[in-house]
Structure 1
C-alpha cells in the first residue's frame, strides 16, 4: 500500500446534520495520523427529510474544507444508491465507503487500509455487533438472504457499507449508470 496515493471517502448522508462534521473531522485526523495526506470526501445527501439541515451542514463543510464535494440528490434512493452516485465523483486511487453516523468508527480505518495489498482489490470491514434499530436489522437479514439466494454469495463472505476498493474497480462499477441518481446540486 502506497500511503502517498490519493484516497476518496464516499459517505452517503441521511439526516446526518448532527454527526457528519464529527465523522469528517475524525476521519481526517485518522488518515493524517497514519501518514495519508491526499484525500477527498464525497458527501452525498440522500434527500434527507430534515428541512434542509443536512444539506446546510454539507455546504458549510465545503466552504470550511477544500477537499469536500457535497452532492444533493433530488430523490431518496437509499444508502446503496447514494454510494453509487458518489462513486461517479471519486477521483482517488483508493475509494473508501463509510457511514455518516459513526456506525463504523474512523479509528478502524487503519485496519481496513492495511488489509488491502497487491493481491486484493476490495476489503470489507465487518462488525459483529451492529448498532441499528430492530427494523433496519430485519432489512439487513432480508438483504443478506436475498443476496445469498439470488447471486449465490458464499455464506462465509461478510459484507458491509465499510469498504475500500481500488480505482479500477470503481471505474468498472460506474460504467453501469444508475437511473435513480437524480442530482439536484453539486457543491
Structure 2
C-alpha cells in the first residue's frame, strides 16, 4: 500500500465456496494490517458489510466490493472528499460497466434515495465515511440495515466524487432480478411510510370514483328511466377494484413482514471466526 497513513484492511467472507477464505487467511497471517472475517453462511451483501463495519476502528472507513470494479487506486479521491469537511464521500462512476439488470436496479435505487433522502447523483456502494457515522450505524438495532440510506438518515453530509469503474474481472454477479426487487422494496419500506400514505390517498380517490359511478347508475335508473345493461362493465369494475385491494394488501403486508422480522430479533449475520496475525486459529 502506498497510503502514508495507518490503515487496516477488513475482508469479509460471506459464505464463499471457492478459495477466498484460504487466500484471506494467508494474507492476514502475513500482514498485521489485514483482518479476515468469515460468516457461517451466505447472508448477503449488506449483512456482510455490516459485519465488516462492526470491526472497523479507523477514523475514516472505506467500503468497497471485492470484485475490483471500483479500483483501489481511487480510494485517495474519496479520502480527499472527507478532507474537504464532508462526512460521507461516495463514488460517482464516470462510465458504468455493468450489465443492464444492474443498471436498472441502480437507476431505481437512485430514484428512491432522491425521493426519500434528497440525495443526488449516481450514488454507489463505493464510499468513505467518518468513524462517528460508522459507530452510529453499528448502534442501530434494526435488521436489514441498508447502509447508504442509514448514513444519509443519520445526517451525514455527503459529496459525490467522480471515480473510474472497471469491468468485472471474473465471475458473475449474484444479484438476480428477484434479489434486486427485494432490495428496492426493503429500501422503500425500511425508510419511508410513503407507500402506506399513498395507498390511503388512492383508496380515497377510488372510493370517490365508486360513489360517482353509483350515483350515475341511480340517476339513470330512477330519474332518467334509462335501462342499465352491463354485466361486462360490472365484471370489469369488480376485477379492477379487487386488483387495487390486493395491491394495497400486498403493500401493507410488506410493512407487517418487516414488523415480524424485527420482533424476532434474529441477528443479521453470525461470525464464525476472525483471523489476524498472531491469532491464526481465529476467534
TM-score, with length taken from structure 1:
0.72
Q: 1:112 to 1:154 in 2, by over 3 A?
A: same
Separation in structure 2 between the aligned mates of residue 66 and residue 85 of structure 1, nearest angstrom: 19
Q: 1:168 — aligned with what?
A: 132
- Kindly state the Cα deviation for residue 157 of structure 1 after the two structures are TM-superposed: 4.2
Separation in structure 1 between the aligned mates of residue 108 and residue 44 of structure 2, nearest angstrom: 15
Q: 2:15 — aligned with what?
A: 47
Q: 1:135 — aligned with what?
A: 101
- Kindly state the Cα deviation for residue 107 of structure 1 after the two structures are TM-superposed: 1.7
Structure 2 spans left out of the alignment, 5+ residues:
144-266, 276-283
Structure 1 spans left out of the alignment, 5+ residues:
1-27
The answer as to whether partners of 1:124 and 1:158 remain within 8 angstroms in 2 is no
Larger Rg: 2
Separation in structure 2 between the aligned mates of residue 166 and residue 109 of structure 1, nearest angstrom: 14
- Kindly state the Cα deviation for residue 185 of structure 1 after the two structures are TM-superposed: 1.7
Cα RMSD, aligned residues only = 2.0
Aligned length: 151
The answer as to whether partners of 1:42 and 1:71 remain within 8 angstroms in 2 is yes
TM-score, with length taken from structure 2:
0.49
Corresponding residue SS for 2:12: strand
Q: 1:63 — aligned with what?
A: 29
The answer as to whether partners of 2:63 and 2:126 remain within 8 angstroms in 1 is yes
| Greater alpha carbon shift after TM alignment, 155-164 vs 122-131 | 155-164
The answer as to whether partners of 2:92 and 2:121 remain within 8 angstroms in 1 is no
Larger relative strand fraction: 1
Separation in structure 2 between the aligned mates of residue 147 and residue 156 of structure 1, nearest angstrom: 8
- Kindly state the Cα deviation for residue 54 of structure 1 after the two structures are TM-superposed: 0.8
